[in-house]
Structure 1
């Protein structure tokens, strides 16, 4: 699912227009980005925790040429799924195909 599809689904489920849904999604992403930029974390109980972490400089290899190069230090984001999310995605699904 991409952002456009998410916007459409949000509009369907909430009764908002697609324009308003897009504004809500953009605002949510801006808030999350700013919180992580400032070093905070986002806790969505039962769903996930997003947190910023520091990656140190390290040696890597170009997959095409095998040449080594240094990857600069940077910040990245970790997503730790919540218990409810894990339970939901691991529920058995009904398969309509005949065996």
Structure 2
């Protein structure tokens, strides 16, 4: 499911306009980015949590020419599903 499909499906299941859903989704994305950039964990009960994680420097291979390069350390966002979401998926 992509972004536009998510917006359309949420609009169908709720009485909220696509424009308002887009605004909410943009605000949510921005808020998660701000909080994880600050080093905070964002936890949504029943859904999961977004947590910043430091990815260390490591070697990688360029698939086009096979050259080995060294990737610089960076912060990534790790998502962990809540157990309730996993239970609903596996019913």
* TM exceeding 0.5: yes
The question of 1:34 aligning with 2:40 is answered: no
How many residues are matched? 91
Q: Which runs of 5+ in 2 are unaligned?
A: none
SS at match of 2:32: helix
Structure 1 residue ranges (4+ consecutive) displaced by more than 4 angstroms after TM superposition: none
Of 50-59 and 10-19, deviating more is 10-19
In the other structure, the counterpart of 1:22 is 22
> TM-score scaled to structure 2, two decimals?
0.92
SS at match of 1:76: strand
Q: Which runs of 5+ in 1 are unaligned?
A: 92-99
Cα drift, residue 16 of structure 1: 1.1
1:39-61 residue CA offsets vs partner (Å, 9 max, x unmatched) = 10111122111100111111111
Question: Which structure has the bigger radius of gyration?
Answer: 1
